[in-house]
Chains A and B, each alone.
Chain A
């Protein structure tokens, strides 16, 4: 069972570079999310999507962009990387906005130097 798959798992970026974190899920879930987690802290929501073609900002969207062209994929784009974006990024999905379980990927460790 693949579930939620994120790539890459580790990446080092230089300040000002750009990159895309890929996320795909094979559960036909409508809702997808991107979170970041700084050391010793809980997760913070960056962006979310309720279906193909629909995205919305979460708590900390500045410096990021997303797109949702298909149900399966929800890439996160970092433009002009900054040291403050050094974090662990988690992609997640669930069927809808009710009490259903949210499934998380294994995380992508990003360092900006």
Chain B
């Protein structure tokens, strides 16, 4: 999986929008952009993913740059429960070939702090 770059931490106020950036300049044409988050003492949970077009779901929106070299996770109205580590991950659409690793490659992510 190609590498991503995220800020180590970000801080926002409750009930305000949050924009979490991710750079992935070496992304390939078959890489999906995935976002997961990990709340304290829990396993990661899926947030959103996309390939080329912007995506929306009940948790967040994903804005993907036209050249796909960066993306932004948008939390429209942050709550205290959104405080977590957010991981931006690239995942190739590959069939199993009998060698190499599959699954998501996690970096250190962005630690999002929400102030009341």
- Tell me, rounded to whole Å, the shortest Cβ–Cβ distance linking B106 to chain A: 3
CA gap between A43 and B87 in the complex, in Å? 10
Of A40, A102, A103, A107, most buried by chain B (CB within 10 Å of CB) is: A102
* Contact A48 B43, CB 8 Å, known A42-B107, A99-B49: no
A42 touches B106 (CB 8 A): yes
Q: Which residue of B lies closest to A4 (CB)?
A: B43
CA gap between A40 and B8 in the complex, in Å? 11
Q: Which residue of A lies closest to B99 (CB)?
A: A56
A44 touches B106 (CB 8 A): yes
* Contact A99 B93, CB 8 Å, known A43-B44, A105-B43, A106-B43: yes
Chain A, 19-62, CB within 8 A of any chain B CB: 31, 33, 35, 40-45, 48, 50, 54, 56-59
Chain B residues with a Cβ closer than 8 Å to the other chain, count? 29
Q: Is A74 an interface residue (CB 8 A)?
A: no
A31 touches B108 (CB 8 A): no
Chain A residues with a Cβ closer than 8 Å to the other chain, count? 29
Chain A, 82-113, CB within 8 A of any chain B CB: 90, 92, 97-99, 101-107
B49 touches A58 (CB 8 A): no
* Contact A56 B101, CB 8 Å, known A42-B87, A42-B108, A50-B96: yes
A57 touches B102 (CB 8 A): no
- Tell me, rounded to whole Å, the shortest Cβ–Cβ distance linking B40 to chain A: 11
- Tell me, rounded to whole Å, the shortest Cβ–Cβ distance linking A39 to chain B: 12
* Contact A103 B46, CB 8 Å, known A43-B106, A45-B103, A58-B101: yes
Other contacts beyond A45-B101, A59-B101: 10, CB < 8 A: A31-B102, A42-B107, A44-B106, A45-B104, A56-B101, A90-B44, A92-B43, A102-B104, A104-B45, A107-B42
Closest 8 CB pairs of A and B: A42-B106, A104-B43, A99-B32, A43-B106, A101-B46, A50-B96, A33-B103, A58-B101
Q: List 18 A-B contacts (CB under 8 A).
A: A31-B103, A33-B102, A33-B103, A40-B108, A42-B107, A42-B108, A43-B44, A57-B101, A58-B101, A59-B105, A90-B43, A90-B44, A97-B93, A97-B95, A98-B93, A101-B49, A104-B43, A105-B43
